[in-house]
Structure 1
Amino acid sequence: MNRRTFLYTGGMLAASASAMAATIAGRTKPAPGIQLYMVKEDMERDPIGTLKQLGAMGYTQIESYGSDKGIFWGKTNTEFKKIATGFGLNLVSTHYNPCTLPEFDKLAAQAAEVGMKYLVCPWLGPQKSIETFKTFADDFNKRGAICKKHGLRFGYHPHDYPYKPVNGQLPIDVLLAGTDKELVDFQMDVYYTVTEGADPYAYITKHKGRFKLAHMRDVLKKRLPAGSKDESACDMGEGIIDFKKFISVGQDNGMRYFFVEQSRFFHETPLQSAQKNAAYLKRLKLV
């Protein structure tokens, strides 16, 4: 290799390294989040004590849900926000129970008042006709407009059924096509995407900017039989999903919020599982 070739090659390598460093530096380290439904029994018994434990584990973001005590757990929106903040937890989003548009408007106003970012529809249920999912898409657009009016965003959380064909079409594809990207985002549950045989990275990249939130739990290496009473879920890092890749690809394509949500517990309590998952996220050391 002559001097000119050496200098050129060295320069190219340096430029490549610099570009890579810039890319890494430009990616914000994801805040560790948790869906409160994962520790629902603990929240029902002692919501304040449970939030304190989650904050001590290192979680900094939480997503609530429509509990029997409401998304603010028997408190006003400002009271609950203050309690969570006191334990280092930012209330980013919530799943909500089915409600009319006027009720949803009121909820959106309460969420916006305390700086929340998202209201998320957690469930539609399997349907016999793909046309029903088209009506759901129309409803999502209406709710998205309500959220936009209040300065927050609307999201939908697909479970397993949107990846199962209905009348020859996948509901997830119909919902993505039928919703206005200016009004409706999606929350990928990577567990269901993988267990249903779909490619999470293909969806994230093809629909760049649509999947803004994620739920994370791992998939057992030795899958349980189809129709098994127990799900094939396990703690992060104990299954087949490469979460470092998932989070990195997600962030590069507009994903901003990552929530741990385990549903199957082996020889541990939900809070012990939450601790294990928090420790795993720390070990990833994502920049």
Structure 2
Amino acid sequence: MNRRNFLYNSTLFSASALLPAELLAASSKYGITPGIQLYMLRDEMMKDTKGTLKQLGAMGYKQLESYGSDKGIFWGMSNKEFQKLTAGYGMQLVSAHHNPMPAKAFETLAAQAAEIGMKYLVCPWLGPQKSIDVFKRAADDFNSKGAICKKHGLRYAYHPHDYPYKPVNGQLPINVLLANTDKALVDFQMDVYYTVSEGQDPYAYFKNHKGRFKLMHLRDVLKQRLPKGSEEESACDMGEGIINFPKLLTAAKSEGVKYFFVEQSRYYHETPMQSAKKNIVFLK
């Protein structure tokens, strides 16, 4: 860790220790309600679900995004039990990434999600493909799942990683998915890290596909590690990289993004929980 980063991190932790709970609980001046994707804390959640959630609530996180863990999106509890637990810590489960499943099981999951007021189920992964036709078929599947979600009173979305920004048969899969999904049924979750690290412009996607991006994952991109074109070589905490988050969040809000989730995957000199703390302090 160089001196600049050491001073930055030391100042950040010192300042966060002095912040009152009321300030941490409030939304930022950009109107962003702080959320976090639980996959970031997957080991902690598996070891101590309640303790981990309690810490996140104490930090000031208000919204959660779950994923298809070995214990399910409700972490071994019923939907209402998990809702009650998170509410006790001042948080709400807004969305969840789901695993592949048959249509009947997906319908059940959608009903359970809607029952506790969740807003989204999200497809987190399609994987790199050799033919663009695979993504066209995926768009049809998204429309079908979107119709199921709509019937139950919630929404469906897709979360692109790096591969949708890489050309397949001369086309970008992300553009094919945007063009072939029904905007009345399917939204998108931008992971700004992947958009930027793959050389794309998040502002252009907001402008050219107005209203399609409703959720966002937040992490930064280290300039000195670009371009690498490999497994998240350049991921870092917000405020430590090249993304102008005040500008980005202002634009995202104005273009209809409603839900923002911190998600970090690379830890250089910290634990996932320390990263969660640093990122919410930055958001405040």
TM-score (normalizing by structure 1): 0.87
1:110-152, CA deviations, whole angstroms, 9 ceiling, x for partnerless residues?
A: 0000000000000000000001100000000000000000000
Alignment partner, residue 50 of structure 1: 52
Corresponding residue number in structure 1 for 2:118 = 116
Q: In 2 relative to 1, CA 28–262 (structure 1 residues): closer, same or farther, beyond 3 Å?
A: closer
Match of 2:143 in 1: 141
One-letter code aligned to 1:250: A
Output aligned runs, 1:195-274, within 5 Å.
Answer: 195-223=197-225, 226=228, 231-274=233-276
| Residues 1:45 and 1:237: Cα distance change in structure 2 (over 3 Å) | same
Q: Equivalent residue for 1:151?
A: 153
Answer with 1 or 2: which has the greater Rg: 1
Query: For residues 254 and 108 of structure 1, what CA distance do their matches in structure 2 show?
Result: 23
Which portions of structure 1, spanning 4 or more consecutive aligned residues, are displaced by more than 6 angstroms?
none
> Over aligned residue pairs, what C-alpha RMSD do you find?
1.2
CA distance in structure 1 between the aligned counterparts of 2:112 and 2:232, rounded to whole angstroms:
37
Structure 2 residue runs of 5 or longer lacking an equivalent are: 1-28
Query: What is the match of residue 18 of structure 2?
Result: none
Once the two structures are TM-superposed, the CA of residue 224 in structure 1 deviates from its matched residue by 5.1
Aligned to 1:222, the other structure's residue is in SS state helix
Of the three residues 62, 69, 94, the one matched with 2:96 is 94
Identity of aligned residues (%): 70
The one-letter amino acid of 1:195's match is: S
Equivalences, count? 256
- What code does the residue aligned with 1:264 have? R
Residue-by-residue CA offset, 1:29-58 (whole Å, 9 max, x unaligned): 110000000011100000100000000111
**What does residue range 55-66 of structure 1 map to in structure 2 within 5 Å?**
55-66=57-68
Instruction: Name the CA distance, whole Å, in 1 between partners of 2:150 and 2:30.
Output: 25
Matched, 1:38 2:68: no
- State the SS of the aligned residue for 1:139: helix
Aligned mates of 2:162, 2:81 — CA distance in 1: 35
Q: Residues 146-185 of structure 1: matches in 2 within 5 Å?
A: 146-185=148-187
Q: How many Å apart are 1:226 and its aligned residue?
A: 2.3
Change in 2 beyond 3 A, CA 1:128/1:182: same
Structure 1: any 5+ residue segments left out of the alignment? 1-26, 283-287
Could you tell me whether the CA contact under 8 Å between 2:64 and 2:91 is conserved in 1?
yes
In structure 2, the residue matched to 1:84 is 86
After superposition, give the CA deviation of every residue in 1:165-200 in whole Å (9 maximum; x if it has no partner).
000000000000000000000000000000000000
Code of the aligned partner of 1:32: P
C-alpha distance 231-98 of structure 1, shift in aligned 2 (>3 A): same
More moved, 180-189 vs 97-106: 97-106
| CA apart distance, 1:102 | 1.0
Kept after mapping to 1: 8 A contact 2:63/2:92? yes
What are the Cα deviations for residues 248-271 of structure 1, in whole angstroms up to 9, with x where unaligned?
101101100000000000111000
Q: Distance in 1 between matches of 2:255 and 2:231?
A: 35
Distance 1:30 1:156 in 2: 21
Whole-angstrom CA distance in 1 between matches of 2:131 and 2:161 = 17
Counterpart CA distance in 2 for 1:123 and 1:197 is 20
Q: Deviations over 1:232-254 (max 9, x none)?
A: 10100000001111111011011
Tell me the distance in 2 between the aligned counterparts of 1:223 and 1:30.
Answer: 28
